């Protein structure tokens, strides 16, 4: 890229001497022509003024440096043409091309053109400064290449920040720049531009520790020896105490940095780490110990009884304890799944047996079992738990119940009620004015929180897709319109986009099985067609093969799923199967080329080794699957999500997606079409879906979700009632309103970036 520029630098310098006129002559011309001269800043010139010394040339075009990194980024789409093509994403293509190709080229030129005299540099100082600037550029490019899911907007801001940072440093105003730009971009770029001991860098780290303690505590090793380390640790203890706890129980030297911090809350965490019999179980009750409400011994006694432990986690919710909220919420979710799985496993038993595990539990506890068990709870398990919650409310209204639980995840609960056809029953416990107010609150306030906090909006979008009460649907449409107008008046960019998208989605649900209507809706949302995955978008980088990757795990369910999966490929005239120690490779021998990889479901924890070995093999051979399938319970899902890449175009979650899973998938694979279930996936449903997709791929056809789902629906219409109900719980990409909402929001919110 940049290599060809500096080769002509000397010639350009001679031409400049010839064409440049004396300043006085320029002034006369300006006066005579009465035109205002356009002056290009030295920071924006895109042509070299002087040849580059050999030592710095290596940082431009030497092996393993800036130009080579640009070529790798440019050539990732198969062609080195000065344009980074991200399939199906013209916005990201433009952002990456502008930032990492054109802007980086210009920054390289700018660095070399910076006049030494204006900065008071001698020759050696000039070389040192410019080398440091080039190293900062080099470092940014490395960050991109090691990023499994690079975000176009993030790198545009990063490159812009780097240029401004270099200019500020050159002009001697680094301190002022950092004060005005305390953010992650400045933090990343500072690693090369400022020494660790530099006061401005220490200020940056201290302020970032105050603003973003959860992020900064992960960087503790970078500043552990400085006096402000305790300030960052103390701030993190109030936001992510588990991370501080992890340091307190580690064997590294950072343990002593935490232990030596005198902050009272940090001391409480250290005491739990040292003296509790079950430190991990005790950590959710950090607030009890910190405030002296309970001793470590008392907490250990609670932790020893599963039911008592769970009910005390609910107590923290009811007391609205904020300290360690994420910690005990995570534990509430994890421990609550024990009840959900027991009810699910006993789905063939009579209710007294099936629901024995929740006997005697108050309605508030049952509420949290449902909302935090959303990823796995069966329809019948939800309905059974819901009915018992209603029975035990003892005359209280649902409105009162939600007040008691401080409306924690109330949108999630209402979305689940809508999905499982219990919303009318729940709303029926309320007075008319309570019902109206609740549904107003359901829609209101979605513009609040951080720009990327979309959980409430996604719950609203998903809930609307399940609402069959037209009167309620019209009420919600009107509330969306009202909140849109309010957001517009207040100038809330997030609010305008959120409510504008919801209005579009709400209209689209009326015709979600009409291809022309869905295409029109895609255009309004500024998205590629949400009902279609072109066959060419599934092909590998070489344009010849469609690669698929399946994730299996080593529990009994995982092994059964793997054996069931293999039955799809038993026709030896169509498929060839090869097995290794860690994975199975299945290759098509008729139709279009398809290669399917699946890790072996080895005994836990060796199953994770098999996943890692397969992923290493794929990476080493430059194989990027475009179809990814998770098979197994939701507690295995985080391991699969860690392996999602930007190349994935179809992602099938064998267990329920949920907001956080949808958000994670789309953060790593922005163009993914997601199939998920409202409950735990079933082999009897997964296999026909996968077969339908593979049949179309083998024929070289585009995947049309509307026609695919209509055909599947026809096949399942004659199945038994339980099987039909399970299929109905699967959500295809064109009806996955949560995923559609997240995609559209991210594009629209950053459209003006």
Residue in 188, 279, 202, 293 with CA at minimum distance from that of residue 241:
279
Q: What is the pLDDT of residues 481-492, one digit of tens each?
A: 999 999 999 999
CB 47 within 8 A of CB 122: no
Q: Name the H helices within 276-324.
A: 279-282, 286-290, 296-303, 306-318
Q: What is the pLDDT of residues 332-343, one digit of tens each?
A: 999 999 999 999
Determine the Cα–Cα distance for residues 121 and 115; give it in Å rounded to an integer.
Answer: 9
Check whether the bond before 605 is cis (ω within 30° of 0): yes
Determine the Cα–Cα distance for residues 530 and 537; give it in Å rounded to an integer.
Answer: 14
Q: Is the pLDDT assigned to residue 151 strictly greater than 70?
A: yes
Q: What is the pLDDT of residues 299-333, one digit of tens each?
A: 999 999 999 999 999 999 999 999 888 888 989 99
Averaged confidence pLDDT in the chain: 88
Q: What is the pLDDT of residues 171-223, one digit of tens each?
A: 999 999 999 999 999 999 999 999 888 999 999 999 999 999 999 999 999 89
pLDDT of residue 267: 97
pLDDT of residue 260: 94
pLDDT of residue 148: 80
- pLDDT band at residue 18 using 50, 70 and 90 as cut-offs: very low
- pLDDT band at residue 521 using 50, 70 and 90 as cut-offs: confident
Determine the Cα–Cα distance for residues 145 and 646; give it in Å rounded to an integer.
Answer: 13
Determine the Cα–Cα distance for residues 527 and 744; give it in Å rounded to an integer.
Answer: 7
Q: Is the pLDDT assigned to residue 512 strictly greater than 70?
A: no
Q: Is the pLDDT assigned to residue 583 strictly greater than 70?
A: yes
- pLDDT band at residue 533 using 50, 70 and 90 as cut-offs: very high
- Residue 568 CB-density burial (10 A; 0-12 exposed, 13-18 middle, 19+ buried): middle
Q: Per-residue DSSP letters for 477-545? A: HHHHHHHHHHHHHHT-HHHHHHHHHHHHHHHHGGGTT-HHHHHHHHHHTT-S-TTEE-GGGGB-TTSS-
3-state secondary structure 230-270: HHHHHHHHCCCHHHHHHHHCCCCCHHHHHHCCCCHHHHHHH
Determine the Cα–Cα distance for residues 241 and 97; give it in Å rounded to an integer.
Answer: 40
How confident is the model over 424-452, as a mean pLDDT? Answer: 95
pLDDT of residue 8: 41
DSSP E strands, 589-672: 594-599, 627-630, 650-653
Specify the DSSP class assigned to residue 36. Answer: P
3-state secondary structure of 672: coil
Strand 575-579's sheet: what is its strand order? 575-579, 583-588, 594-599, 546-551, 627-630, 650-653, 673-677, 730-731
CB 207 within 8 A of CB 150: no
Cα-trace Rg, the chain: 29
Determine the Cα–Cα distance for residues 534 and 701; give it in Å rounded to an integer.
Answer: 8
- pLDDT band at residue 375 using 50, 70 and 90 as cut-offs: confident
CB 617 within 8 A of CB 639: no
Q: What is the pLDDT of residues 380-424, one digit of tens each?
A: 899 999 999 999 998 899 999 999 999 999 999 999 999 888 999
Beta bridge partners of 630: 551, 653
pTM: 0.73
Determine the Cα–Cα distance for residues 463 and 197; give it in Å rounded to an integer.
Answer: 53
Specify the DSSP class assigned to residue 599. Answer: E
Handedness of CA 529, 530, 533, 537 (dihedral sign): positive
Which whole-number Å values give the CA distances from 568 to 118, 401, 553, in the listed order?
Answer: 71, 48, 19
pLDDT of residue 185: 96
Provide φ and ψ at 704, rounded to 5°: -105, 110
Q: Name the H helices within 567-605.
A: none
Q: Is the pLDDT assigned to residue 255 strictly greater than 80?
A: yes
CB 562 within 8 A of CB 631: yes
How confident is the model over 668-693, as a mean pLDDT? Answer: 84
pLDDT of residue 221: 92
3-state secondary structure of 548: strand
- pLDDT band at residue 77 using 50, 70 and 90 as cut-offs: confident
How confident is the model over 579-588, as a mean pLDDT? Answer: 96
DSSP E strands, 524-649: 532-533, 546-551, 575-579, 583-588, 594-599, 627-630
Q: Is the pLDDT assigned to residue 2 strictly greater than 70?
A: no
CB 316 within 8 A of CB 287: yes
Determine the Cα–Cα distance for residues 289 and 599; give it in Å rounded to an integer.
Answer: 45
- pLDDT band at residue 511 using 50, 70 and 90 as cut-offs: low
């Amino acid at each position: 890229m940049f290599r060809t520029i500096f080769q002509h630098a000397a010639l350009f310098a001679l031409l400049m001497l010839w064409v440049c006129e004396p300043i006085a002559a320029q002034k006369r011309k300006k006066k005579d022509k009465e035109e205002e001269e356009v002056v290009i800043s030295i920071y924006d010139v895109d042509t070299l003024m002087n040849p580059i010394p050999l030592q710095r040339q290596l940082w431009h075009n030497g092996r393993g440096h800036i130009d080579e990194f640009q070529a790798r980024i440019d050539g990732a789409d198969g062609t080195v043409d000065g344009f980074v093509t991200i399939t199906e994403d013209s916005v990201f293509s433009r952002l990456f091309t502008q930032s990492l190709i054109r802007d980086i080229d210009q920054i390289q030129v700018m660095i070399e053109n910076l006049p030494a005299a204006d900065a008071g540099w001698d020759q050696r100082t000039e070389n040192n400064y410019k080398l440091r600037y080039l190293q900062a550029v080099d470092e940014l490019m490395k960050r991109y290449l090691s990023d499994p899911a690079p975000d176009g907007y993030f790198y545009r801001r990063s490159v812009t920040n780097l240029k401004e940072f270099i200019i500020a440093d050159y002009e001697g105003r680094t301190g002022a720049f950092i004060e005005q730009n305390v953010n992650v971009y400045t933090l990343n770029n500072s690693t090369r531009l400022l020494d660790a001991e530099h006061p401005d860098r220490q200020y940056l780290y201290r302020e970032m520790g105050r603003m973003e303690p959860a992020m900064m505590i992960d960087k503790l090793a970078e500043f552990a020896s400085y006096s402000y380390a305790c300030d960052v640790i103390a701030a993190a203890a109030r936001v992510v105490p588990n991370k501080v706890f992890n340091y307190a129980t580690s064997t590294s030297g950072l343990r002593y940095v935490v232990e030596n911090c005198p902050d009272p809350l940090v001391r409480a965490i250290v005491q739990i780490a040292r003296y509790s019999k079950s430190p991990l179980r005790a950590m959710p009750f950090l607030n009890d110990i910190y405030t002296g409400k309970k001793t470590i011994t008392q907490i250990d006694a609670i932790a020893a009884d599963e039911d008592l432990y769970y009910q005390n986690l609910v107590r923290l919710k009811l007391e609205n304890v904020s300290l360690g909220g994420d910690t005990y919420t995570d534990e509430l979710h994890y421990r609550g799944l024990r009840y959900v799985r027991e009810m699910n496993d006993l789905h063939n038993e009579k209710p007294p047996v099936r629901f024995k595990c929740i006997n005697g539990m108050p309605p508030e506890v049952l509420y949290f079992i449902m909302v935090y068990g959303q990823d796995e709870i069966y329809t019948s398990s939800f309905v059974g738990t819901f009915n018992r919650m209603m029975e035990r409310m003892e005359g209280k209204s649902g409105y009162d119940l939600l007040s008691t639980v401080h409306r924690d995840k109330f949108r999630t609960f209402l979305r689940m009620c809508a999905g499982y056809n219990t919303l009318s029953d729940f709303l029926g416990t309320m007075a008319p004015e309570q019902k109206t107010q609740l549904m107003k609150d359901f829609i209101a306030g979605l513009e609040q929180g951080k720009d990327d906090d979309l959980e409430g909006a996604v719950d609203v979008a998903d809930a609307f897709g399940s609402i069959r009460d037209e009167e309620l649907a019209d009420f919600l449409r009107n509330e969306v319109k009202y909140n849109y107008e309010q957001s517009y008046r207040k100038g809330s960019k997030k609010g305008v986009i959120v409510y504008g998208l919801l209005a579009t989605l709400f209209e689209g649900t009326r015709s979600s099985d009409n291809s022309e209507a869905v295409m029109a809706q895609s255009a309004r949302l500024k998205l590629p067609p949400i009902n279609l995955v072109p066959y060419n978008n599934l092909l590998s980088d070489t344009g010849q093969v469609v690669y698929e990757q399946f994730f299996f795990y080593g529990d009994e369910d995982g092994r059964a799923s793997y054996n069931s999966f293999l039955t799809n490929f038993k026709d030896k005239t169509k498929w060839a199967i090869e097995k290794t120690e860690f994975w199975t490779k299945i290759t098509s021998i008729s139709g279009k080329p398809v290669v399917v990889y699946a890790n072996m479901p080895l005994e836990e924890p060796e199953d994770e080794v098999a996943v890692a070995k397969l992923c290493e093999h794929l990476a080493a051979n430059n194989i990027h699957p475009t179809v990814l399938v998770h098979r197994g319970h939701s507690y295995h899902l985080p391991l699969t999500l860690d392996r999602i890449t930007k190349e994935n175009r179809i992602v099938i979650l064998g267990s329920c997606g949920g907001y956080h899973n949808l958000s994670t998938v789309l953060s790593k694979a922005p163009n993914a079409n997601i199939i998920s279930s409202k409950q735990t996936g079933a082999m009897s449903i997964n296999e026909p879906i996968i077969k339908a997709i593979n049949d179309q791929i083998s024929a070289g056809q585009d995947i049309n979700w509307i026609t695919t789902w209509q055909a599947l629906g026809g096949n399942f219409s004659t199945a038994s009632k339980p099987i039909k109900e399970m299929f109905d719980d699967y959500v295809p990409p064109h009806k996955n309103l949560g995923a559609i909402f997240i995609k559209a929001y991210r594009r629209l919110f950053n459209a003006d970036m």
